[in-house]
Structure 1
Amino acid sequence: MAEPTAGFSPRLKMPWRLSRRILGVNLIILLVLALALLFLDSFRNQLRDERQAQTSTLAELAATAVPKIAPDDVPMLLGDIGGATGARVRLYGRDGKLRQDSWRVTQPSYRLRDPATQGWAKEAARALDRAFNFAVGERTVPDFVEPAVDEMQAWPEALRALRTGQTTSVVRNAPDLTPVLSAAARTTSGEVVLVTANDRNFTRTVRQERTKLGLGLLGAALFSLLLSLFLARTIARPLRRLALAAHRVRLGRSREVNVPRFNRRKDEIGMLSRAVSDMSQALRQRMDNLDAFAADVTHELKNPLASLRSAVDGLDRIEDPALRHQLLDVVRQDVLRLDRLVGDIGEAARTDAELARSAFEPVDLGTLVGQICHGWEERRLTGNVRIAFARPRAASAIVMAEPNRLARAIDNLIDNAVSFSPPGGLVEVAVAAVGDNVRIRIDDEGPGVPAASREAIFNRFVSVRPESGEFGRHSGLGLAIARAIVKGHDGEIDVADRDDAPSGARFTICLPAAAGSEGAEA
């Protein structure tokens, strides 16, 4: 199975992030509501200013006309004005007493309604009025109450008009929350005209406009609902599919699970789907590798165990000391082979896990490889095979690595080279920085590796050796362990024939140089 490829990069720009989509949907209805409140508040204020200006103009016209007509005609004038405009017009003398009232001439032009006598619809409308006033921060308007003693002292706007000579208007609320507009103007003779009107049409107009905006908000809410359903379709459904696939993987059915990959999506859902798919493929490959590893281990353990059992069984039947000595020699070799095999199996099983947990640090390969070569010389395990190391310039071959694991990989390759070298042969080890990489080269003078076997020798329990190879010394795991360690360091390992000698193999490890090292800058 091919290695799972990276399906996404967290650094990719995603213009349609899910967070932006969700935020946009939530802001639409809020934005529409805010605009509706601002528009309705502006409309109401403008309409109220216009009605106040009309009431003030009416008071000024009455104040201008009263001094110009006979006193006996004043009641009829006030009555005509009140009847034509639906307002109540009162005239207060200089002493503050009420002199004339339009309602004495005509029927009352408006009546303040008791909310208790109205139905639930009006009460709901007033509740909406209060909510709207609270939302826009409307200042509190005083209640309108007819004074028990109707004189100028009961009307602050009349007193102000008398004092300043300027027309003064005030807005109050009737019991049913409809506005009562009042305006006072002083006459040239020092009297004051007071005009009051319960403008129910003002409230009706504002409520009609509010109904229109409410319908607009309802449309916006429906639109927001559709967008929410769209988000549920594009978020919840893919997440449900991914959760189901992950659940099936958890149940141990990873080989049966086809994790969806939303390659066209560039948002977090697409990233998640590709990450889960890659994770599933990696898990599936690891499970296959574990199964294959277990089968290989079983197969490799059977051979030395069968040989060991046969030799042990033969010891009881053979009396010849020479043959018994040969059987004991076979037993010792099988025990050594099993010991080496078990150790290498444990090493191979731990390699991936330990590399995943390891913290990499800068490692000077010149120093590390030099220590390994020196250790071989000190242990005298090379027999009469010589090791030559071409040390690089100091600090020119630095890589990010876990030094102990990387040392094991290099040691395995030197061990392999020594085992294939003829008596008196030379193993050459060299480290050099090449561009942005650091290369480790290990050359031997052995028979080389056939071209058809150059990939297979890195598989577990594969060893291409001559028949005379030392029995039990090699488990076929050394090169597999070395490749796993190198791969864990983002490196490459390969083998080829030497181009500078009649025979021999050349193993090369290529690792990325550490950032900022001399090799990386070369």
Structure 2
Amino acid sequence: MRLVADTEPARLEPEMRDLDEDAPRPRRPAARAKAEPAARRPRRWRNPFRSALTRRILAVNVLPLLILVGGLLFVGEYRKGLVQSELDALRTQAELIANALGEGTIDRPTAGEDVSLAIEAARHMVRRLVEPTGARARLFAADRSLVADTRVLSGPGGSIYIERLPPPEDDPPVLGAAGRVYGWIVGLLPDGEELPLYAERPVQSASDYVEVNRALEGEVMRMRRRDQFDRTILSVAVPVQRFKQVLGAVMLSTEDGAIQKAIRSVRFDILKVFAVALAITVLLSLYLGGTIVRPVLRLARAAERVKRGQGRPPEIPDIGRRNDEIADLAESLRTMTQVLWQRLNANERFAADVAHEIKNPLTSLRSAVETAARVKDADQQRRLMAIIQEDVGRLDRLITDISDASRLDAELSRDESEVVDVARLLDALAELHSTMEDGSGPAIRLDVARHQELTVVGLESRLGQVFRNLIANAVSFSPPGGTVTLKAVRQGAWVEAQVEDEGPGIPPDKLAAIFERFYSERPSGEKFGTHSGLGLSISKQIVEAHGGTIVAENRQAGGRITGARFVVRLPAGHG
């Protein structure tokens, strides 16, 4: 035993120096870390359309607008109304002309002859009556021949055809380009119906026109046709009658130029509103995309820095002033990063502590083995073998406790929580201690408020581990014949459990340090290495994972310490 006592102090100092050399280097001060982001490079312009999310937002906002405008540009019902109004006007004009012809251009028959139209008088009257309307009038006789056409002038040199020419194009280039764009857009719209082709023969007769044939039979008929230039021709044929006798037929026809002009005006107004709405929609979409994409990109770059981060934890941008879901995401990422780096730092410290704690028994083992190889005395060899067995047992306890501590987080997050009755749990632990007690240790006394509901939500096995550690710790410090008291009471929304002993208490400056890993403050008569120093640390980790707290304090009476007390507070659950 003296061999170990002589060598152990000598080997601890170099180990501590080695451990300090292997420990992670201190990080840069926080003030310097915060000052660095101030020196940023000037912000460069970025094309907003490079963002897929911005393009999607723009498409989602613009597509309904395009569909709406497309529907408005179709103006099918509006066109039908204009066509119907134009046909009604043509019919009214044709009926007026037909009535005038039936009353004023009749040849007075002699006895036994039928009434007929005075052709020359009818031609002049038709031309005069139709001139203000701008329509084309044709008069067909009862024998189906064409006798008058306002587009044809007859003279000594023959017939002259009159054709209305479109006005000269003097629009500025901008309007010309707008007109071409308008024509392209209108060309994409469905026409809605197929019309028969309008064609004129060199020598026209009533048989060429369905509506004229019906008019010679005494009916009024309307027609719509489309010519070779894709213009719509509207026509109305009305019979010319004298006392129910059909003397001929008047056919009025016109192109849909006025209708197209009205529709064009309406469509241009719609396109103007659409252009303004499109510009506003694009700008708002870009703004919306920017307010979403820019912070998301900043968070993505920050996450990338976290992945590659070395030396110090990278900063997650603070966008909390937005007060929206992206701010919540940034806050969650910031909290996650802090927890991640705390976990990494804790793992580093844990690895360093484990290396230090394992080196001690390993060094002792190596010394004992090397010495046993040189010692020939049987008694000394037996003592060395006892040392080796103790160190092996210490290593086994260390590895077991380290394994338990390392997988604790995973178990706490994976296992399903349940309702745990703290009073029943303390009863079971007290009964188990009484069963295993041989009479030389302290007694267990229960002080549980059984009239209260003492239930919590958690893992019963892990909470039982906490109280077993606290009871074992209290038993080891209690004097022979002493008492360990287990208390439980409900305090508002918390269940408070206490484990008290009658031992020497805890040094006041060590009340917080006893929960650190591998810290061991054992009774003076206890064999070294019996405990790993992880029990209270694991207990604190379990309690905090359940949303509770654990503290240590000294019991006092008359100004002196009469024992230690561990207080565990857990959120109350419902059974």
TM category, shorter: 0.7 to 0.9
Counterpart of 1:452 in structure 2 is 509
Counterpart of 1:488 in structure 2 is 545
Counterpart of 2:416 in structure 1 is 359
Which secondary structure state, in structure 1, belongs to the residue aligned with residue 568 of structure 2?
strand
Pairing of 1:79-478 with structure 2 (within 5 A): 79-93=127-141, 98-105=146-153, 107-110=160-163, 128-133=185-190, 138-146=192-200, 150-152=204-206, 154-158=208-212, 168-189=221-242, 190=246, 191-207=248-264, 209-211=266-268, 213-253=270-310, 255-316=312-373, 326-380=383-437, 383-390=440-447, 393=450, 396-478=453-535
Q: Which runs of 5+ in 1 are unaligned?
A: 2-18, 114-119, 518-522
Counterpart of 2:60 in structure 1 is 26
Q: Is 2:571 the counterpart of 1:512?
A: yes
Which secondary structure state, in structure 2, belongs to the residue aligned with residue 206 of structure 1?
helix
- Judge which range, 239-248 or 312-321, deviates more: 312-321
Change (3 A) 1:439 1:234: same
Once residues 50 and 96 of structure 1 are traced to their aligned partners in structure 2, the CA distance between those partners, rounded to angstroms, is 29
Residues 135 and 254, structure 2, Cα contact 8 Å, conserved in 1: yes
Counterpart of 2:39 in structure 1 is none
Q: Deviations over 1:71-118 (max 9, x none)?
A: 2411112223444433221234556554543334475454799xxxxx
Residues 33 and 217, structure 1, Cα contact 8 Å, conserved in 2: no
Across the two proteins, how many residue pairs are aligned to each other? 490
1:65 aligned to 82, 95, 100, which one?
100
- Judge which range, 411-420 or 432-441, deviates more: 432-441
Q: Deviations over 1:28-66 (max 9, x none)?
A: 563365257426616545544443343233223212321
How far the C-alpha of 1:345 sits from its partner, in A, is 1.2
Residue type at the aligned position of 1:513:
A
Residues 98 and 151, structure 1, Cα contact 8 Å, conserved in 2: yes
Counterpart of 2:123 in structure 1 is 75
Once residues 531 and 449 of structure 2 are traced to their aligned partners in structure 1, the CA distance between those partners, rounded to angstroms, is 31
TM-score by length of 2: 0.74
Q: Percent identity?
A: 34
Once residues 353 and 317 of structure 1 are traced to their aligned partners in structure 2, the CA distance between those partners, rounded to angstroms, is 47
Residue type at the aligned position of 1:67:
G
Residues 417 and 459, structure 2, Cα contact 8 Å, conserved in 1: yes
Once residues 323 and 307 of structure 2 are traced to their aligned partners in structure 1, the CA distance between those partners, rounded to angstroms, is 27
Residues 158 and 194, structure 1, Cα contact 8 Å, conserved in 2: yes
Once residues 310 and 183 of structure 1 are traced to their aligned partners in structure 2, the CA distance between those partners, rounded to angstroms, is 123
Change (3 A) 1:177 1:329: same
- Judge which range, 170-179 or 285-294, deviates more: 170-179
TM-score by length of 1: 0.81
Residue type at the aligned position of 1:182:
S
Which secondary structure state, in structure 2, belongs to the residue aligned with residue 133 of structure 1?
coil
Once residues 489 and 253 of structure 1 are traced to their aligned partners in structure 2, the CA distance between those partners, rounded to angstroms, is 32
Change (3 A) 1:85 1:275: same
Change (3 A) 1:260 1:160: farther
Which secondary structure state, in structure 2, belongs to the residue aligned with residue 293 of structure 1?
helix
Once residues 381 and 416 of structure 1 are traced to their aligned partners in structure 2, the CA distance between those partners, rounded to angstroms, is 17
Q: Larger radius of gyration, structure 1 or 2?
A: 2
Counterpart of 1:13 in structure 2 is none
Which secondary structure state, in structure 2, belongs to the residue aligned with residue 503 of structure 1?
strand
Residues 151 and 162, structure 2, Cα contact 8 Å, conserved in 1: yes
Which secondary structure state, in structure 1, belongs to the residue aligned with residue 453 of structure 2?
coil
Change (3 A) 1:163 1:425: farther
Counterpart of 2:36 in structure 1 is none
Change (3 A) 1:162 1:271: farther
Q: Which runs of 5+ in 2 are unaligned?
A: 1-26, 28-52, 106-117, 155-159, 167-176
Residues 57 and 285, structure 2, Cα contact 8 Å, conserved in 1: no
Once residues 349 and 457 of structure 1 are traced to their aligned partners in structure 2, the CA distance between those partners, rounded to angstroms, is 19
